[in-house]
Structure 1
């Protein structure tokens, strides 16, 4: 007997056009993770402060490399 079970389509990360403060990276990540965008933004700011700005090049790279939705 064969089971015809189809896998769910893979989720992709996009920068948000509608939920953006700067470039839409945090809004897109929040959509991907199914969380409130404010939580992702707070985590990004906390990461930037606690890591002495190491997260800022990561954010910039995500802004350049992540396509818009």
Structure 2
């Protein structure tokens, strides 16, 4: 049985470490939350144009929080 996926892009209800942003993206795309977080950290460290923390904070405020009814 596969893990529950989000019907729309929301912050994760299940895979939350700080705000659930990366967990929500991983659940929406069907990826591993750990690998999504790792990829985000690697890209953030390699990017000099826009710091990853700014992107994360923007997504934290833009993405709505998932409810149990948000899952398929």
Matched residues, number: 59
Over alpha carbons, which structure has the higher Rg? 1
Q: Which runs of 5+ in 2 are unaligned?
A: 1-6, 67-72
RMSD (CA atoms): 1.3
Q: Which runs of 5+ in 1 are unaligned?
A: 1-10
Render the CA deviation track for 1:7-57: whole Å, top value 9, x for unaligned.
Answer: xxxx41000122111110000000110011011100111111111462221
Q: Secondary structure at the match of 2:22?
A: helix
* Greater relative contact order, per chain length (Cα 8 Å cut-off, separation 6+): 2
